[in-house]
Amino acid sequence: MSRTSPPAAATAEIVLLGLGGTGVTFASRVLAEAAMAEGREAFTAETHGMSQRGGAVEAHVRIGPWESPLVRPGWADAALVLEAGRIPAARRLLRPGGLCVADAPAQPEGVLGCDASAEARALGVPRSANLVLLGFAARALHGLLPRPDTLLRAIARLSPPESADANRRAFLRGMELAP
């Protein structure tokens, strides 16, 4: 938290991938709310409906003056992958040089792995693995994502009261884990 982030990029296209229930939608809302709090435009696309029954879900977050919500495959600046099996799908969305962080115990090639699920379990907040990864990404992808302090405030605003503390701790733990 003491580190000063560089100036934010003019625009950022971020994709989040996971399975229904892993917290993809919540993390995308946090990113968009935080971007707004920094005075930037945000546009998100979410997956609702049947896919949420454990199926593959995806959220797109476009920070900047876009008119449409979907990130074009091959153009995403960053991917946050909450289920390691979706890393190949994330690669397809990333632009050349785009960055990928993933909830994975290992370090797949070209991916910044963070064992967010294990860390969240160790913290006693297994459902907040998404926020461990978001905290990790906030540091690992600094400059591309909104600042950690605005992300933390968005988490506090969007979390139901009973999980606000778990989510905050998960996010801070993720930041500690970042290189």
Query: Rule CB under 8 A: which of 19-48 touch another protein?
Result: 19-29, 32-33, 36, 41-48
* C-beta of 135 vs 179, nearer to another protein: 135
Q: Which stretch binds another protein (CB under 8 A): 2-10, 106-114, 124-132, 141-149?
A: 124-132
Q: Which stretch binds another protein (CB under 8 A): 1-9, 113-121, 142-150?
A: 113-121
Phi, psi at 49, each rounded to 5° = 90, -150
H-helix or E-strand spanning residue 138: helix 129-140
* C-beta of 109 vs 179, nearer to another protein: 109
CA pair distance 75, 96, nearest whole angstrom: 8
CB 94 within 8 A of CB 103: no
Nearest one of 129, 96, 94 to 115, comparing CA atoms: 129
Q: Can you spell out the DSSP letters for 80-100?
A: EESSGGGHHHHHHHEEEEEEE
According to the binding rule CB under 8 A, does residue 78 interact with another protein? Answer: no
Positions that interact with another protein (CB under 8 A): 17, 19-29, 32-33, 36, 41-56, 66-75, 77, 85-86, 88-89, 92, 94-98, 117, 120-121, 126-131, 159-160, 162-163, 167, 170
